[in-house]
Structure 1
């Protein structure tokens, strides 16, 4: 008998998934029902619903296959030197704990969620791309745009997979139970080539901008930014610099003058946002909506436990306390108060209290914090936070372009201008545009936004910087393939060291 997880993944790879309708903005979704692929794609409305379903794995906060939260920020921040896992105890959300202290095994870790969610996305885009040309009545313009969105999304899912696992199967057609177990891993080079090809094909079919009502849908700028980032990971420095310069100069993006406003739920789709994952606080979710949440559960996860008030903050579950290393690095930086909150100091000043979490440092994440002003009153409060996650923003692409320019022997002056712009936005003086200064700026500018672990790995700095968390060089740069994906007759091989 095949294991439960293998069948789950197989069905994720084959199934059409939940079709959804839009509410308020494109990705504020409500489940609308299950449909068989053979009965679907009968008209343009169904094609549009399938496009939304292809986006859905990006934003669905879910209990997942092992009843733990799958928000990528929790695991990625736990793995980095920005945060600890935290929570109620050393066994609270075990996948986050074991990546925090690098005791990952094929059976334990966040790899189950990362693998299943991204391959669900791969399959939905494969099915979408196969069926779009056959939809009756779909205009040429919509066919072009929907196809481009599918290509971008498949590239996005595979970029996460190859960065996290390195050795993954490259599946470009929908599967069935007769061939799902025959898949073998492709070379990372082949996966990166496919990612590049999908993004290059997508760019001409995407709009330069979208209205707020379509917020969250892919634009040309987002596709070029992702392609530039892909080039950076491949060390194709000149290509990365050229692509990112295009994004940074030709699409009207602007750095906000108020750094804290970047992350406010009242300022979604702002001028700095290039690719934003939308979360809704208006859908009245309760615990009966398990596996359906389109709200930001991570906001609740990182609030202080048993917080009394009300003074600015709502309580939370105490996950991802900020490390003293990050708090110290940010002291004196204007971004400190928008990135980190010292709950110890706050409770003393306001005569409130909280219960220290596991690995408590007194410092908590501010960027996605459960601020009372954002609290909704419908449904279960814990499950309805509206905070979006800006996955790619302008300061990020500025610093990536500067890094590419320096690594590739490109325009030193251009790199200096970009670094200066990021610093000047928060009132900081110029620093020389060296690679180490770019690295340091990325750490401070993008702290707790899920980039730090990937940066440390690609720079080769993870073994030294994460030694205090027992990071093992040559092993922990990638995650193990989930155990059940290598059992019961599959052809997948485990990653080295696991």
Structure 2
């Protein structure tokens, strides 16, 4: 009998199994999941459920030690030159507000959410890898795939951590109680080495494709190649071009694999009706099928960020009425998008819609500009009629998509002195998709294309830091060079541990 391996119901199971530990720190004496070790990992089904539990933090929308909303897009967009924090007032989602104004402290900011999400994933991976050899009845090919997925996940979680914090503990095995408070920060080169080692070991045993109805959301070989290319380019920074052609080769393995294609119609990329489309390389799964209510907090599977970026008390067509007005788009960034064919699919001009007919209205939120995020907007047709609508939007988050890897490969080829004709083809394929003509494959043009193509998708802040532009571009928000390239280590993680705070905090 074929075992059904849909990620959706298994994510629900994982959220139930781990419901009691969602606010725990990885440094706690009783880390989450520990209570399962003595009687778990005995059968193939239990091994698979444990693997899915390792995927689960990727889609966290709430929880962590602060027990609040921790979707990564909200804080990242707040920190960039694309959006303000917004919301209902200057203290609404204070963790986002202080990144928007660069007034973070070790006690206040989004850092605890990022830290908890990723170290929880790492902890679950490490337990899984320590137990998998003892599972009876698991065939060798399935076991190899599971191990590859776990190593991909560990690389993924560490890549998030090293970009945001740089100075982090490197933990590759379950910690004994006596080890927990002795952890120190590893040399950053060691972290990158572990990330690359995990990805290199994972790639051969990951499939190129998965059966979407049953396995959508699981790691693929393309996702691992793409992540490796991103890792090398981030590690290189703005000036070290020595590994650019190596990065280009990894990205090329995705871009010319034949398994991915640009979606012809740009807005279709983000539609909940078009999940796991041909452009999607790594997609974070959300679903409204759970019919979650507030009693499910924080273990709901819908995309609450969709709810958060909608207009507040809205009365009019197209959009859900009950948004929370977070991440209004900054007018100067809107100006950079105007005239581009992607503009109406990136920016929701709510003022224009409201002013177009009598009887329409919305309540202006904090830092309102009238411009809202369209890519993840809460469309009325997707608002759940069961459960709590705010918690059940089905919009997935495509964390890595083909246009991203096209433009990264183009950048790597130009920086590394590679094939400029291929760089031109990659850059202009992204432009041609929306009806724009060819431009020269210069770094200036490639970076501009990334800004427009990937707007509000969580890439901009990382690009500004990676390329060394953040101090100048984000000066209007208060960004300080040498400090704000990193988040502070969460204050709670400093208590009774060997960790040292990041510079400037």
Rounded to whole Å, the distance in 2 between the matches of 1:171 and 1:132 is: 18
Rounded to whole Å, the distance in 2 between the matches of 1:239 and 1:223 is: 14
Q: Is the 8 A contact 1:314 1:371 kept in 2?
A: no
Rounded to whole Å, the distance in 2 between the matches of 1:24 and 1:143 is: 21
TM-score between the two structures when normalised by the length of structure 1: 0.94
**How many angstroms does 1:134 deviate by?**
1.0
Q: Which residue is 1:483 aligned to?
A: 491
Distance 1:418 1:296, change over 3 A: same
Rounded to whole Å, the distance in 1 between the matches of 2:206 and 2:133 is: 17
Rounded to whole Å, the distance in 2 between the matches of 1:270 and 1:407 is: 30
1:492 matched to 2:476? The reply is no
In the alignment, which of 335, 343, 349 is matched to residue 356 of structure 2?
A: 349
Unaligned ranges ≥5, structure 2: 19-34, 237-242
In the alignment, which of 404, 410, 419 is matched to residue 411 of structure 1?
A: 419
Distance 1:472 1:357, change over 3 A: same
Equivalent runs, 1:142-181 vs 2, <5 Å: 142-181=142-181
In the alignment, which of 262, 265, 269 is matched to residue 269 of structure 2?
A: 262
Q: Which residue is 1:432 aligned to?
A: 440
Q: Is the 8 A contact 1:308 1:315 kept in 2?
A: no
Match of 1:266, SS state, is: helix
Match of 1:234, SS state, is: helix
Equivalent runs, 1:455-474 vs 2, <5 Å: 455-474=463-482
Q: Deviations over 1:417-462 (max 9, x none)?
A: 1111000000011111111111110000000000000000000000
Rounded to whole Å, the distance in 2 between the matches of 1:226 and 1:25 is: 26
1:200 matched to 2:200? The reply is yes
1:302 matched to 2:313? The reply is no
Q: Deviations over 1:62-94 (max 9, x none)?
A: 143223200000000000011100000000011
**How many angstroms does 1:326 deviate by?**
1.7
In the alignment, which of 210, 225, 248 is matched to residue 241 of structure 1?
A: 248
Rounded to whole Å, the distance in 2 between the matches of 1:140 and 1:166 is: 36
Q: Is the 8 A contact 2:51 2:128 kept in 1?
A: yes
Equivalent runs, 1:67-466 vs 2, <5 Å: 67-212=67-212, 213-235=214-236, 236-351=243-358, 352-466=360-474
Q: Deviations over 1:325-384 (max 9, x none)?
A: 221111010000110011111111133111111111110000000001212211011110
Rounded to whole Å, the distance in 2 between the matches of 1:209 and 1:242 is: 20
Q: Which residue is 2:24 aligned to?
A: none
Q: Is the 8 A contact 2:63 2:113 kept in 1?
A: no
**How many angstroms does 1:31 deviate by?**
3.1
**How many angstroms does 1:23 deviate by?**
6.2
Unaligned ranges ≥5, structure 1: 1-20
**How many angstroms does 1:22 deviate by?**
4.7
Rounded to whole Å, the distance in 1 between the matches of 2:224 and 2:460 is: 21
Match of 1:195, SS state, is: helix
Match of 2:283, SS state, is: strand
Q: Which residue is 1:8 aligned to?
A: none
Q: Is the 8 A contact 1:311 1:350 kept in 2?
A: no
Distance 1:363 1:27, change over 3 A: same
Match of 2:361, SS state, is: coil
Rounded to whole Å, the distance in 1 between the matches of 2:12 and 2:219 is: 15
Q: Which residue is 2:15 aligned to?
A: 31
Q: Is the 8 A contact 2:14 2:53 kept in 1?
A: no
Q: Is the 8 A contact 1:28 1:280 kept in 2?
A: no
Rounded to whole Å, the distance in 1 between the matches of 2:322 and 2:307 is: 8
Q: Is the 8 A contact 1:106 1:482 kept in 2?
A: yes
Q: Is the 8 A contact 1:281 1:295 kept in 2?
A: yes
Match of 1:78, SS state, is: helix
Distance 1:52 1:297, change over 3 A: same
Q: Deviations over 1:212-271 (max 9, x none)?
A: 121110110011010111111122201100110111001420001100000000000000
Match of 1:270, SS state, is: coil
Matched residues, number: 477
Distance 1:388 1:453, change over 3 A: same
State the Cα RMSD in Å: 1.3
Q: Which residue is 1:51 aligned to?
A: 51
Q: Is the 8 A contact 2:7 2:215 kept in 1?
A: no
